[in-house]
Amino acid sequence: MSGRERDGGVGDGVDRTPSKRVDVCVVGAGPAGALVATDLARAGHDVVVLEAGPRFDPAERLERMERSIRPSYDRADVWGMGGDRDAFSSTGELYYPLNAARVKGVGGSTLHWQGMVMRLHESDFERRTRSGYGADWPIDYDDLRPYYARAERRLGVAGASDNPFAPPREEPHPLPAFPPSYSDSLFAPACERLGVTTHSVPNARNSEAYDGRSACVGYGTCQPVCPSGAKWSADHEIARAEEAGARVVDRAAVGRLVTGEGDDRVTGAVYATPDGAEHRQEARRFVLAAGGVETPRLLLLSRSPDHPDGLANSSGLVGRYFTEHLFAGAGGRLDEPTRQNHVGFNTTESHQFYDDPGAGTGGVPSSDADLAPIKLEFLNYAGPSPVETALSGGEWGDALLSRLREEYGTHVAMGGLVEQTPRRENRVTLDPSRTDDHGNPVPDVRWSLDARTRRTLARANELQHAILEETGVDVEWTVGPATTGPAYHHMGTTRMGTDPTASVVDARLRTHEVRNLSVASSSVFPTGGAMNPTLTIAALALKCADHVREAL
Partner 1 sequence: MELTRRDALAALASAGVVGGGAAAALARERREATARRPTDGESAGSPLLDALVATAEVVYPEEVSGVPAFVETYSLARFDARPDYRAGVRDAVEELDDHARAWYDEAYAALDRGTRDDLLRSMGVDAAEEDPEGTTAERVRFYAVNELLFALYTSPAGGRLVGIENPQGHPGGTESYRRGPR
Binding site for partner 1 (CB under 8 A): 62-63, 65-66, 69-72, 178-183, 185, 207, 215-221, 227-228, 336-337, 339, 341-344, 347, 380, 385-388, 390-391, 393-398, 400-401, 404-405, 408-409
* Residue with Cβ nearer partner 1 (245 or 472): 472
The rounded Cα 264 to chain-centroid distance in angstroms is 30
Q: Pick the closest to residue 435 from 51, 85, 95, 100 (CA basis).
A: 85
* Residue with Cβ nearer partner 1 (405 or 424): 405
CA distance 529 to 423: 14
Residues 6+ apart with CB under 8 A from 259: 265, 266, 267, 302, 304, 306, 307, 311, 514
* Residue 115 beta carbon to partner 1: minimum distance, rounded to whole angstroms: 14
* Residue with Cβ nearer partner 1 (219 or 286): 219
3-state secondary structure of 371: coil
* Residue 183 beta carbon to partner 1: minimum distance, rounded to whole angstroms: 8
* Residue 464 beta carbon to partner 1: minimum distance, rounded to whole angstroms: 21
CA distance 229 to 214: 7
* Residue with Cβ nearer partner 1 (54 or 386): 386
* Residue with Cβ nearer partner 1 (74 or 261): 74
**Please, which residues bridge with residue 115 across strands?**
none
* Residue 387 beta carbon to partner 1: minimum distance, rounded to whole angstroms: 4
Per DSSP, 110 falls in state: G
* Residue 390 beta carbon to partner 1: minimum distance, rounded to whole angstroms: 5
* Residue with Cβ nearer partner 1 (178 or 210): 178
Cβ contact 544:36 at 8 Å: yes
* Residue 207 beta carbon to partner 1: minimum distance, rounded to whole angstroms: 8
Cβ contact 157:117 at 8 Å: yes
* Amino acid (1-letter code) at residue 249: V
Q: What totals of helices (H) and strands (E) does the chain contain, helices first? A: 13, 17
* Residue with Cβ nearer partner 1 (323 or 380): 380
* Residue 217 beta carbon to partner 1: minimum distance, rounded to whole angstroms: 4
* Residue with Cβ nearer partner 1 (177 or 504): 177
Cβ contact 99:88 at 8 Å: yes
DSSP output for 407-458: HSSSEEEEEEEEEPPP-TT-EEEEEEEEE-TTSPEEEEEEB---HHHHHHHH
Neighbours of 335 (CB within 10 A): 8
* Residue 352 beta carbon to partner 1: minimum distance, rounded to whole angstroms: 24
